[in-house]
A and B are shown apart, each in its own frame.
Chain A
Amino acid sequence: MTVAAKTSAGWADKRTPEEIAELRETVRRRLVLELGERWVETDPCVLDTYSWQYIAEAATGSQYMPRALAIALPADAEQVAAVVRLCNELGVQYKAMSTGFGMWNSPIEPDKVVQIDLRRLDRIIKIDAKNMYAIVEPYVTGNQLQTEAMKLGLNTHIAGCGAQCSVLASATSMMGQGLDGVSMGFSNRNLLGFEWVMPGGEIVRVGSFGDAGDYFAGDGPGPSVRGVIRGFAGALGGLGVFTRCAVKLYPWSGPKQLDLEGGSPNFFARIPRHHTAAVVVVKDWKSLAELGYRIGEAEIADYLGRNAPSLMAGVLTVDNAEAAEVYKIPMLHELYYALVVVMTAASTEEMNYKRSALREIVRGLGGGALSNDFSPAGIQDFLRFLKVVSARLGTRAFLRSMPSFLGLVLRDARRYGMAKAPMALTSLLYQSLLRSGMNMRGVFRFAGTFWTAMGSLVTWDNAIRGARVGAQIKRKYIDQGVIVDDGGDNAWGGLYEGGTFSHLEELAMYDQTDPEAGDRVAEYVAETNLACVDYHCGDSLNAVGPPFHRMFSPACMDYDKYTYRIKTTFDPQNAADATMFTDPAFAPDARLEARMQAVLADRAKVSIDTSHAGAPVRVLAPLH
């Protein structure tokens, strides 16, 4: 039985249900010959488990993306290549997924695409501790690689989507920002080589692997194709399938395993003696910009980023009732100009140096810190921290915060014991940053889901400016009641490679089961994209897929023309579903156009820093 996926997007499909059923059966039969019965799936209910995706509601008006023709689970690169060749032969598209978080791995049109689930390619092929790199298959998660790397005194970059996600997907195919970026870079920068099933089904090995049989360098000899296969955002499945990649690893001075006590969801991680976790606060945006640069330049931080107060309330609590209480503490509410930091060191001397450097930077900017440093200087930093917050709040509101703040400390005393209570907040921070395992608390639990905006890779002060622009646009949607009132500012992000570049994205939390919310949040995204162009904030994280490329490409040297050339050269048959990349078959639909018109008709007022605004840029420019 074929049940067409219900979408309010209304994809035009001229095929009859019988034709679709016949095609599905042909594809299934042929896939079974390649992979075996067990690893091919066409049952509608099971297909739905793949369709159900994060932010599907924004694309289709329901929680389901359009169904795939079939799901295929190959076991190795040869089987992946066989599936790809088969799709080319049958004239159907395919799309790869690794751990599968987000609607980007789904087809955009129903019953047309074979989804290649790379779950069975789950091995860490090798960790070369001496040369500090690892070779992984697509289903190796950040958490798994980090767990094994730490045993060897090494660490790995983990993208902010969480440590349950694939290392390879971020390195080869999509984005790559995480709060360890200050010391461990951005996913694409860590990519040292890869095995690639090209769109037509040929397997190539890129980087030094192709030549020397090992993956110690990502480029050459000869021209690098790293830029070709991913660039800033990645091809999101639109350029074939990556079946293996090598990523750079970094030194880790901590224990082989986290020293963990207690149980879920209230684990207590003991912070090693030579490690520091801190929230550092300064008095305004300008100081925050300076703070980021200075910490980055000093090369003292391993993890560095910004969590807005509402996100912090989510991460520090286990349910919404508790989060709402914590969020009410005026003091927490005022931690706008704050960064979270983890510093690691191999010796007391090294940590003393790093702590002194951080102290000098923070004090130099009139700020303070809450950390696990209980030395007299550390306590002084905490008092300064309170001073900065009380100056923002006013003495009366500050004093009003105290009972709830003490309530939080008492909660921790009950949870972890009196002796550990003072360390509880920094312990949570440490776990959260180190294993990238708690972000989901902060973004999903409040309302159900979130979407994000702005967030290009730009200089840190430009990222802050972008966040301020985003927050003002968000206010409009908050006032209309379609997203959570998180004060407007919920900018999350970090600095990369010593602070040479950075990103801040403006999160908006909403209830995905509310039929109106998904649509309205999509407007928020469109509007912030326009603002990115107007206020020169860089191309946004949502510069994904042809509709948005049309918005950014004219402002960024017509990059879409290059990606289009790459796509059509490497994949003349358009076999790899490139609807999230640069789709030669893209035609804007009426829903999208209507959404854009609605946004253009009622744009939020943005009042800061308009001096940076250039002439309005064309939107909805003709493609190619």
Chain B
Amino acid sequence: MTLTNNYQSMAELKSLAGKCPRCSLCKFPPLVAVRDAGFSSICPAYEVNKMHASSGGGMLVMGMSLLEGRSEVTDRVRRIAQECTACGGCDIACKFSSDIEVLEVIFQLRAHIYKTAGAAPAHEAVLQSMRARLHPLVTASGALGDWLKDVPAEQSSTPDYLLWVGPHYALLPELRTTLTHALKLLAAGGVRYAVLGASEPYTGRAALEIGDRELFASFARRAAAAVAASSAKGVVCLSAEDYATFRALLPRFSAVGKPVLHVVELYDQLIRDGKLKPAKPVARALAWHDPSYLGRLSEPWTSWSGERVKTLGQMILETPPRPVNRGDHGCYDAPRRVLSRVPGLRTLEFFRRREYAFDSGECGQALAVAPGFALSTAQHRLAEARAVGADAIVTECPQSASMLRAAASSSDGTTTVQMLTDVLFESVLA
């Protein structure tokens, strides 16, 4: 039987999930990489809620139990599934030793819950917002193209890049400064870009995270079509969420057909080409936080179809070999290189970094339904920053920054959180 890795149902994942021996590796970073016992978990759900169900392995079993009709969706099951950031830490940790698709099962679990029991009210509001206003930001006011009135975008009629702004930058006033800085940096680097303004579709991830796969598919197709219709040669995402969605999810519905970069990769290129010159010293020690969307969740997806056969009696082989995302092809080096070029700046590393970074509570639409859980997750990450000696964090994902800031203000209030774009702007143009 021909199999594919474009999983459309939990049943398609059953034989992979069946290989889980409940080893618990999904609860920790790869063991060789553990640097501190106090910060040795990789799973926000398990860190906060402690039960096995609240872990990658636990979610996998919940999925199988529901699939096999051993149990039913209850409020409790729904709450456990929601108090997970869908950050993929478990998936990466499991795949240090296996090829089980834990995160795919988590998405299918959410789809199953959505199909059989609908969305929780707060999630339904997000879906409603997507259907009615074409974006997921329930409390945001204004229209998607309004930002163009405030922020000068020097668009080119022969663009190299389609600059994908995303609903957060487009709608949230607190991100206006960063948006302005990003556009100024691109202008200073001589980048020819175009924007879609009001007609830029949302890439749709929130729907997938909630479990409405059909809604997600319709947004994904729209986003892919918008890229195809543009004369630009490639896409540059300002938002890490869009970047991850373009690279890892959209290709399952429609080929994107053009290279997709995150803006930090473009900064990195511009600095290497001498088009941006960080000159002003920024005398600070900042810990770089790898957002899950920019890191492991952005690893490109490669289509596969093939067969599972047995060799040596019972050894399971896939022919041709199935590409397995193990997290190491996320965007990790570009931000580090950019920061290393800023004079005076000392970049510190978290204990948990790169593909095994601990999420900061921003992913998976957990914030909408379980704000306490999301905040605890961010607080834990903040504590880690302090443990590595940083009183400031730098990142490049608006949702991560917002969670970490909320955590800082709910605790000692002294840790500051900055966006890489703002730090670079300070050094290049301020």
Contacts and interface: CB of A to CB of B under 8 A. Distances in A.
Contacts of A163: 31
Interface string B321-334: 10010111000100
Given A49-B62, A63-B18, A483 B97 contact: no
B24 A41 contact: no
A324 B317 contact: yes
Interface in B45-76: 50-53, 57-58, 61-62, 64-66, 70-74, 76
Contact of B32 (A267, A445, A449, A509): A267
Contact of A319 (B72, B310, B321): B321
B61 A52 contact: yes
A306 interface: no
Contact of B22 (A53, A262, A435, A511): A53
B97 A144 contact: no
A478 B314 CA distance: 9
A299 interface: no
Interface string B88-121: 0000110111110000000000000000000000
A321 B321 CA distance: 6
B386 to A, nearest CB: 18
A140 B28 CA distance: 12
Nearest to B353: A263
B368 interface: no
Contact of A164 (B24, B35, B315): B24
A52 to B, nearest CB: 4
B326 A45 contact: no
Nearest to B58: A49
B354 to A, nearest CB: 6
A163 B34 CA distance: 11
A269 B21 contact: no
Interface string B1-27: 000000000000011001111111101
A257 B96 CA distance: 20
B33 interface: yes
Nearest to B312: A485
A384 B65 CA distance: 54
A510 B314 CA distance: 6
B56 to A, nearest CB: 11
Nearest to A323: B315
Interface string A424-463: 0000000100011110110011111100000000000000
Residues of B in contact with A, size category: 35 or more
Contacts, number: 228
A180 interface: no
B70 A6 contact: yes
B141 to A, nearest CB: 37
In this complex, the member of A100, A263, A445, A511 whose beta carbon has the largest number of chain B beta carbons within 10 angstroms is A263
Given A45-B71, A481-B314, A485-B313, A264 B355 contact: yes
Interface in A113-141: 117, 119-120, 124, 140-141
B214 interface: no
B132 interface: no
Nearest to A440: B97
B36 interface: yes
A54 interface: yes
A512 B93 CA distance: 22
B25 A513 contact: no
A509 B52 contact: no
Contact of B77 (A3, A46, A263, A269): A46
Contact of A117 (B51, B66, B93): B51
B15 A48 contact: no
Contacts of B70: 3, 5-6, 44-45, 48, 64
B50 to A, nearest CB: 5
A311 to B, nearest CB: 13
B80 A46 contact: yes
B61 A48 contact: yes
Interface in A19-67: 39, 41, 43-46, 48-50, 52-54, 63-64
Contacts of B34: 143-144, 147
Which of B15, B51, B73, B354 has most A Cβ within 10 Å? B51
Contacts of B15: 513
Contacts of A100: 22, 24, 52
A260 B22 CA distance: 27
B347 to A, nearest CB: 17
Nearest to B332: A263
B246 interface: no
Interface string A497-527: 0000000000001111110010000000000
B99 A264 contact: no
Contacts of A410: none
Interface string A251-293: 0000001101011111101000000000000000000000000
A393 interface: no
Contact of B33 (A267, A321, A447, A484): A267
A267 B310 CA distance: 29
B312 A484 contact: yes
Contacts of A263: 327-328, 332, 354-355
A481 B31 contact: no
A537 interface: no
Contacts of B36: 147-148
B316 A257 contact: no
A102 to B, nearest CB: 8
B269 interface: no
Contact of A318 (B40, B71, B315, B326): B326
B71 A444 contact: no
A1 interface: yes
A188 interface: no
Contacts of A320: 99, 315-318
A441 B99 CA distance: 10
A470 interface: no
Interface in A156-214: 162-165
Contacts of A145: 37
A483 B313 contact: yes
A249 interface: no
Contact of A482 (B28, B314, B354): B314
A54 B61 CA distance: 12
Nearest to A99: B24
Interface string A54-90: 1000000001100000010100000000000000000
Contacts of A265: 30, 95-97, 326, 328
Contact of B50 (A73, A262, A449): A73
Interface in A335-379: none
A266 B328 CA distance: 9
A319 B325 CA distance: 12
A267 B353 CA distance: 13
A5 B65 CA distance: 11
A482 B70 CA distance: 27
Contacts of A232: none
B356 interface: yes
Interface-centre pick from A43, A101, A484 (highest chain B CB count, 10 A): A43
Interface of B: 14-15, 18-25, 27-28, 30-37, 40, 50-53, 57-58, 61-62, 64-66, 70-74, 76-77, 80, 92-93, 95-99, 310-318, 321, 324, 326-328, 332, 354-356
10 contacts: A44-B71, A46-B80, A99-B24, A100-B24, A262-B328, A264-B93, A320-B316, A321-B317, A444-B98, A514-B314
* Among all A-B residue pairs, the 6 with the closest Cβ atoms: A437-B31, A45-B71, A263-B328, A144-B37, A513-B18, A321-B321
Given A54-B23, A257-B35, A320-B318, 8 more contacts: A48-B71, A71-B51, A119-B52, A162-B25, A164-B28, A269-B32, A441-B97, A444-B97
Interface of A: 1, 3, 5-6, 39, 41, 43-46, 48-50, 52-54, 63-64, 71, 73, 99-101, 117, 119-120, 124, 140-141, 143-145, 147-148, 162-165, 257-258, 260, 262-267, 269, 318-321, 324, 327, 431, 435-438, 440-441, 444-449, 478, 481-486, 509-514, 517
